[in-house]
Amino acid sequence: MIKKAVIPAAGLGTRFLPVTKAQPKEMLPIIDTPTIQYVVQECVDSGIEDILIISGKGKRSIEDHFDKNYELESRLLEKEDEALYTHLRHIESMANIHFIRQKELNGLGDAIYHARFHCEHEPFAVLLGDTIIDSVIPVTQQLIDLYEQYGQTVVAVETVPRENVSRYGIVGGKNLSSKVMQVNKLVEKPGPEKAPSNLAIAGRYILTPGIFRILEKTPRGKGNEIQLTDALQILLKEEGIFAALIEGKRYDIGNKMDFLKTTVEFALKRKEFAGEFEDFLRETVKKIDKAKSQSDEKPESAF
């Protein structure tokens, strides 16, 4: 049984500057809900309520978001806004959330190593704090189910275009089914010619406690950082690792284009926005098409 989860959320969010200069990228809202709240909710929906968030400098707002705000709640009660009051109470009580700071940004592997005292000798889940996966069965629950079958490390993977493999940790191995692979190789951000497959690690893991001993000795890799993928490759010499092809759609909120797409798709799923927002999108597309058509019809200048 997996009882604990670790959410690394210490990165600088440089791809989203300047907004992330004073605001954590994990707090970027999808409409009105911070990204990291979706991640915490995935833990809870997977039966995990003991969560350690690895934060860093300038990330205090994450802790405040999951803390109680007496003044705000009192104001909502005065206004008799019971629905919003209840929602805020849910956020502050949805899980047992602990925080520890990664004082130097030395990579994902180093961030996970900070969880060694919290997780001790237990297997635990890892969910990247800037990645949302929309699925019927929570992806963490999918990994837990596979862990309970094999009792060894499990990583979530998704297929990506071959030309994009250099953006991800990539796994290779033997297919046990259409959804499960026994891993024999992990490579952090390889070129297309060196990638063992086009299966990319999708920001969700179930790790055994042996990873801490490995991380303690893992040398720096890509970007001069301690890479979790490199540590898992070393762990392969001691125990098995399995990859599970996720059933769901992953959204990388650290990427501006994905952030925009996510906001649109999530808005279309919200009953209070769906109809009006869909009409707006259709009208917008019509205007774009009309402008392009008129531009194409304009005669070329003689000068």
Q: What is the pLDDT along the chain (303 residues), one digit of tens a residue?
A: 899 999 999 888 888 889 888 889 999 999 999 999 999 999 999 999 999 999 988 889 999 999 999 999 999 999 889 999 999 999 999 999 999 999 888 999 999 999 999 998 999 999 999 999 999 999 999 999 999 999 999 999 999 999 999 989 999 999 999 999 999 999 999 999 999 999 999 999 999 999 999 999 999 888 889 999 999 999 999 999 999 999 999 998 888 999 999 999 999 999 999 999 999 999 999 999 988 888 776 666 555
The DSSP string of 126-184 is EE-TTEEEE-SS-HHHHHHHHHHHH-SEEEEEEE--GGGGGGSEEEEEEESSSSEEEEE
Crossing angle of helices 82-93 and 70-78, in 10° steps, is: 160
pLDDT at 104: 86
Please name the residue ranges forming H helices in the chain: 35-45, 60-65, 70-78, 82-93, 108-113, 116-119, 139-150, 210-217, 228-235, 256-269, 271-297
Record the pTM.
Answer: 0.92
Distance CA(157)–CA(155), nearest Å, equals 6
Distances (CA, A) of 64 to 61, 68, 85, 92, 237: 5, 8, 16, 9, 42
